[in-house]
């Protein structure tokens, strides 16, 4: 992969990562609940999903999923339902009557956040279809495919970690002041719950 091709890939990855979606909502929600530092586990789960999706595309299975309306719809509606479930759960979450609202949620394990982040990104078949349309523009047939996919994968993951953790998690953490009161917690729970539901609906109908 040439330097100019990689720079183009880098810019495209930055644009994609800064586009708000389910991953960004999940990251901001985690940052409010457990703090910026621990929110990294949800981000890592999202990256694991991207790696799996990239591997599916590299193996050629993405073409099958993209061409199978049934498989695509099953994954799409499952993903939409999961996002709606996360939204409803967020809205129904009880405010914490304490000076430190995040105290009771810090018991959420790193593994639980990792798994949630994994499913948030994995249950989005459009990512596979997007990779199918996006990646071929950066792959040259005269060069080894394995190395090219490795470079593409590392670039996508590193950029997404940086954007999610150093931007969206910090943005989410900026809402922390509002969580000092029960009313503020309720409003943020409704806000992020509505975002989750909205993204889920978009995934189902778009």
pLDDT tens for each residue of 79-105: 888 888 888 988 887 776 544 444 444
Q: What is the DSSP letter of 164?
A: I
Of the pLDDT bands very low, low, confident and very high (cuts 50, 70, 90), residue 63 is confident
Please report, rounded to a whole number, the percentage of residues in the chain having pLDDT higher than 70: 87
Please compute the mean of the pLDDT values over residues 70-85 and round it to a whole number.
83
Q: What is the distance between the alpha carbons of residues 52 and 20, in angstroms, rounded to a whole number?
A: 21
Please report, rounded to a whole number, the percentage of residues in the chain having pLDDT higher than 90: 19
Q: What is the pLDDT of residue 34?
A: 86
Write the CB contacts of 39 (distance below 8 Å, at least 6 apart in sequence). 27, 30, 31, 113, 165, 169, 172, 173
Q: What is the pLDDT of residue 97?
A: 56
| 3-class secondary-structure state, position 38 | coil
Q: What is the distance between the alpha carbons of residues 119 and 124, in angstroms, rounded to a whole number?
A: 9
Q: What is the pLDDT of residue 45?
A: 95
CA distances to 53, 79, 131 from 61, rounded to whole Å, are 10, 19, 12
Residue 178 has pLDDT above 80, yes or no: no
Q: Do the Cβ atoms of 190 and 40 come closer than 8 Å?
A: no
Longest dimension (CA), the chain: 62
**Per-range mean pLDDT, top range of 37-51, 90-104, 107-121, 143-157:** 37-51
- pTM: predicted TM-score of the whole model, two decimal places: 0.76
């Amino acid at each position: 992969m040439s330097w100019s091709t990689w720079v183009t890939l880098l810019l495209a990855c930055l644009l994609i990562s800064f586009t708000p979606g389910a991953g960004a909502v999940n990251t901001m929600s985690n940052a409010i609940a457990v703090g910026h530092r621990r929110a990294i586990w949800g981000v890592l789960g999202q990256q694991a999903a991207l790696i799996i999706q990239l591997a599916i595309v590299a193996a050629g299975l993405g073409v099958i999923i993209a061409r199978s309306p049934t498989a695509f719809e099953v994954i799409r509606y499952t993903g939409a339902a999961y996002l709606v479930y996360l939204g409803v759960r967020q809205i129904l979450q009880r405010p914490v009557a304490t000076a430190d609202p995040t105290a009771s949620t810090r018991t959420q394990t790193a593994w639980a956040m990792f798994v949630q982040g994994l499913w948030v990104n994995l249950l989005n078949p459009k990512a596979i279809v997007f990779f199918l349309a996006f990646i071929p523009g950066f792959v040259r047939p005269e060069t080894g495919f394995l190395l090219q996919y490795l470079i593409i994968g590392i670039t996508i993951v590193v950029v997404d970690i940086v954007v999610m953790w150093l931007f969206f998690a910090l943005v989410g953490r900026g809402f922390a002041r509002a969580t000092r009161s029960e009313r503020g917690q309720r409003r943020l729970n409704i806000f992020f719950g509505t975002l989750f539901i909205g993204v889920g609906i978009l995934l189902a109908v778009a």
